[in-house]
Amino acid sequence: MSKELFKTMLYLPSQAAAETEATIIKWYINPGDSFVKGQALAEVESAKSTFDFEAPCNGVVVNLLFQENCSVPFDSPLIEIETSDETMKSAIPSVSAKESAPAQMDIGAIEKPKSTPQIRTVSLLGIGTYLPQRIVPNSELLVEHLDINEDYIFGVTGIRERRWAKQGEKPSDMAYLASVQAIEKSGLKPSDINAIVVSTTTPDVVMPSTACILQDKLGIRGIPAFDLNAACSGWLYGISVARGLVLSGVADNVLVVASEMQSRVLDKKDRNTYFLFGDGAGATVVSGVKPGHTILSEMLFADPAGINMARRSYPGYEVPVNTTGFDPWLRLDGKALFRFATQSFASVVRELIIKSGWKPEDVRWVVPHQANSRILKAAAQKSGVPFERFYLNIDRVGNTSSASIPIALSEIERGLQKNDRIIFCTVGAGVTVAGLTIEW
């Protein structure tokens, strides 16, 4: 049985952030022509390069929307096509595509309705964080890249410096210091904690879990403790898991920690990763028995279509001396991740506002995973919430992966007032996406 044909638009792939348009030098096809995936459809010239625009699927040309030698904005469709390729229904458009363009994914459709009734209010209590003392400015990393400067790094990433752990420091050490602070600020004792969930992509060892190592450091016995890995989305995944433990009656108070030590797994020669990441830890207590900052709505999902956008093949927080035969470093597909993350951040913010019964102007802060300042600026434009209400600290601490939201939240905590409405949102390897709303 043949697949159903449908019409869709194709956009030019995004180039450098400063570029807004490109020029069609030559069309290789005409309306009515058939084409196959990977076939060159046009020769295109941008400010920095000339490239062939290749077909992302099999199909037939319906209409060419621009003539040769015309300038094409990156936010405008280039070709109308007809295809039966179902993947094109969720294709990622240019990062600058106008809001009327087909969305990357319909989060409302992906999000499954929750059948579990909320039997009691679940809240976040104290926020604890830890950042290593060592400050690493961009100038220190430029020793490996003499052809670029500090302004270039800041322009591309939004980062001026980051914190890196000292030799001998472990992810569980950072988790412990953040946890002690969170428990104290919650007005609890370690013995009041009924479960421990640790988010990390850089565990101390493969087993036992970093959560069990943390449990030992805290001197707590007889409670469940486990790690989860949702990459940069891990802390919000952990909050949702903890909320489930509370609502199911397994625990009253759950310690949720994110601890990431990416500095040891970065390839100095890889510009996609080397300048981005910092080390740090963040923690909170999720409670069903003590009033705090009320959790309202949550969203969790993953899309394996982006499974290769962020990856690392070797476990742990350190790379062995002999790495012959395999790649032990953290790798990112920067361009693809940029497009995916921009649309996903914006979609999560819009959907959470609806789910929480808010209006965009009700949001006091959006506290995002500190992925990249360019991603967050582009996401803000599409989210309906002004960029001024997106809190960024990436310039000082870099991307601390799943620890970035609690670290950022700790910085604005003193300025928050009762009933302030806050959105958390994140995108991580997998690709995982998560969002949460709370009322302070």
Residues with active-site annotation: 232, 369, 399
Tell which residue, 196, 231, 229, 201, has the closest CA to residue 211: 196
Query: Do 118 and 288 meet the contact criterion of CB atoms below 8 Å apart?
Result: no
Can you read off the two tokens belonging to residue 102? 């087909």
Instruction: Tell me the CA end-to-end span of the chain in Å, nearest whole number.
Output: 55
Instruction: Find where tokens 């049985």 sit.
Output: 1
Q: How many angstroms from the chain centroid is the CA of residue 204?
A: 23
Q: How many residues does the chain have?
A: 440
**Token digits of residue 86:** 């179902």
Going through 21-58 in order, the beta strands assigned E by DSSP cover 21-27, 34-35, 40-45, 50-54
Distance CA 174, CA 26 (A): 56
Q: Cα dist. 301→23, 35, 103, 174, 338 in Å?
A: 38, 34, 16, 28, 18
Q: 53, 42 in Cβ contact below 8 A?
A: yes
Q: Tokens 């996401």 sit at which residue?
A: 379
Which residues have CB under 8 Å from 20's CB, separation 6+? 73, 74, 75, 96
d(CA 73, CA 93): 13
CB burial readout 401-413, b (16+ within 10 A) else e = bbbbbbbbbbebe
* Whole-number Å distance between alpha carbons of 234 and 231: 5
In which residue are the tokens 């904690």 written? 193
